[in-house]
Amino acid sequence: MDRQSILSSFEAVSGADEPQALTYLEATDWSLEAAIDLFLSDPQSTEKPVLYPQAAEGLGVPNLMDEVRPAIPARVDRLYDDPLLAQAASRSRRSRAGPQPVDAFRDYQVEAQMSTLGGAPASSQQGLAGLFAPPHKLMFKGSFQEALESAETARQWLLINIQDNNEFASHRLNRDTWSDDNLQSVLSGSFVFWQVQRDAQEGEHVCQSYKLYELPAIAVIDPVTRACASQWNGYIDPHR
């Protein structure tokens, strides 16, 4: 990857402007992972406001494969220890099905008609359902607790996205942000990605535990301490 591509990728996941991005990249000899690791752990970067539209403190990619990993500056100390959450996670573990996002653009009537006529499934048709579909290839299939355990085992961060079907910003995240090739490349190597709807039982409990009141919400969770390291709200442009 050439330097311009590295610069573009860093800006896409961090939200930093070009001068700030160059500062981190030059300090790490143009190592993308090291630069984003430095960005996330830098107090000056994590102390800035993160509410949209100032959501510019992008998705950090720390190197979690080191034998001794540094402490993560936590924004939210609330841990995922609610008994109701544990109960919900237990039920999900038994089913192994994981949270299923609701597709506001799915045309169930057309699907039923095509099924009756023996036609191709609606998911194979080009249209709104496909355009705003969740990033299934990127998503972890399982409960929040299982996602935490998977991230801890892989020594990766847990990136969560709580969506609200009534907020178009949630659908824009699926259409524009999570589908971005550069962002997917970074996330797949450094994060376990978990997405859920607010009106799902686990979605409601996670929102309460981490005080995610403005939706859609995105948060980076330390799987070891269960603390929230960074948080964003609303739509985030992958190219910022």
Quick: pLDDT tens for 72-104.
454 444 444 444 444 544 554 544 444 444 444
> Using CA atoms, how far apart are residues 140 and 24, in angstroms rounded to an integer?
30
> Using CA atoms, how far apart are residues 1 and 186, in angstroms rounded to an integer?
13
CB 223, CB 176: distance < 8 Å = no
Find the range with the poorest average confidence among 30-34, 43-47, 96-100. 96-100
| Helix/strand/coil percent split, the chain, to 5 | 45, 10, 45
The H or E element that residue 145 is part of is helix 144-154
Domains along the chain with CATH numbers: 50-102+132-233 (3.40.30.10)
Nearest 5 degrees, angle CA 132-CA 111-CA 130? 15
- What's the chain's average pLDDT? 75
pLDDT at 196: 97
- Provide the 10 A C-beta neighbour count for residue 68: 4
Farthest CA pair distance, the chain: 61
**Total-model pTM:** 0.54
